[in-house]
Structure 1
């Protein structure tokens, strides 16, 4: 070889060519060797080889002869498909009419030559419990210009498991060792290989702080509307400038091209945090069937967070209609119940909660009990009248103004009656028989006083008087019956305090209030009614 090199150098000097320092290339027997010379990348490139077979000019050699010799050249590309000992030697390229020349010394070794194999070995350092990626050396050669296509990479470790694609998710100390990567190339229906050795040295991890994804949560489901624009942020805490954050759709990387239906961008980067946004321009049904992964990759580890999209539940108008019907039914039932039981509800509030529904108005009596004549025999007799007054005062606590008891002599009947009306919150007209009725003028004055002062009026009738209609009443009584609330006395059935008569009477009367001490009114004549 030394003699061959010296002869070559002498030839170069004789030809007036200035050679550069040659590059020494070691290749395993039977494998492909490739080299690209940038300075020779020209159509007028002259290739020469000096081997044991002699000197050859390759630029003028037919392509068929190139394949037969196993040497292929095109402009600055030099390829030997299957190296053998006969290919050992010197190879050069130069441009026509140029004194500069680039050349290599090719040496071929066998599989048993370990020392020579170390010439194509590179080193890689990784740390325990972190991800580790081995890289297979690649030649910077445009193989496609020679119709040579790449056919994949395989990894192999003697006496150990081979990593897929040279990747360790969490490397261990026992993963240390030599890994052989084989790059395959296809040409004219035949596979040619190029092998390299990567020496992996796994060292203890000295890094305590690790990068981590803060949001979103793993397996989180985002509810969206079809056709809407959606942006999902992935935020992570970074520990190094080399840490990276990307989005994946399935197993493919999402691009940053904003014209695509789905893309991602960096929204902002702070001191130790980074946020990237996954953006859907218009969510489609196809997007709902995919998994989207936010991948955090640093020099020491890799972590993933996977999310999915889910369509929001559509609004159910049937449910809305059912709810509306239920509300209407409940409202109707509530109104009907209140109308039917409003008397019981009001009395319950009064008796149980001591609710009166009004504030003190300064009046002395809760009600003024006044009698009127009933032409029929259906009026209350004196004992029924006394029973009525006794129950109102003693049972239900009403403060009553009774003409024959609370009015003192010395004043005209009309004035005394109007004073009683003035000092009472309500007026109760009770039918009696056969007592004489008040004068019509007095009844008219009472009606005017009630209307003016908006005093409540309860008009008690009997079943007999109701049957004879109110047309038989004097005109003044007819006005009073129309102005007040009528309650019917039904004789013995109305005696119990739980009867409807007492409920209606108490409902129309104001709630009883504690009556202040009052002075007796003057009286000049007997009671109007008894």
Structure 2
């Protein structure tokens, strides 16, 4: 039962994050040779090659696109738009690489392996090609993997040279009539000139030459009255047809058996497809038709009940643990907001006067602000610290609301809060700008009758999400107060370091 709940939680986390793990593309290259990685276009992004970012994860994460030409040359690589070219691969280049269309675009991953021995090369960088005797055969189709694209600045292609392993004379990689003596291992070497230096990229192709047979395929049936051949004529209730496809020198034959309407007699027969070859080799496969069993409504009911139970459990788990799941995603998986919405602050904190003596004192307020900023990484706007002097109170407060993603109202025992007129203006501004509001209450405030609250505060408490402050028990960062407060606050944005121009004490 525990394993099932864990599986449901993993499925739920995947649905919530929208993330799907991507397997990197494996790229193998011999030490000392050139290799190129190409970033595929994102269909959701129409900005061409602008904003493509290459990153390396060989020793530590590095933004290769942001490096200067001199730094790239020192590392032995060249970044050009969607292409990343490593001029002479070595073990230090081995590792993972990624590319994306800007920081917010989807990422493509590559895993580069640099082999240093001939045995490793035979295991990792060989391609198998099959051709048939007396037919044309071209090898060059396998000689264009992870090579520099045309148009990369100052890189010039010097062509392709094919050689058969064990022989020194080059060949052109094309056989007009290939023979069995031509089979074996071939190397393809692509040569490039960059900054007056030659760089190579080598591939190995294993050519297998098979004899050309003129084969035939046919269907026949066998039953209580003996065997009989199936006709190709589609006017019969049972017939077959043959299709031939030629791809990369191979001929694929398909013999399709067609039943216009299955009869009782067809169910009592065996149908055999036979391949007859002029070389004397033959093979066959036999099938038997079976009547499809009637659907079991018991099985269907059990399946439906199981799906319903799973859905109910999923909903119950989410409802029960939605706050913990959301905070887990933020803290453990690092699910922070990376898309800028133009706001300067994550939250604007402001006090309001509590009608009881249970509001937060100055020490508790400073502690709350410190935990939000230093432990959880929120960027806060505090009136007595971040608002520039010279503005009217109402104008300064409304400007702070405009620059913040969320507003948090904190109860205080001393009368540090704004008047009812400003509270009404704040309510109107929140509604107009659709800014999220978190309204902190105390336990004493909760037991009051709703009619005892001022009208402006009543409207604000109804417009926002309410969190209850319970004194010392709420000071622990693992308390329910902090879990609810962080749940209602949006995930903190990853801001650039803040430079404070001035401070003001009100």
TM, length-normalised to structure 2? 0.47
The higher radius of gyration belongs to: 1
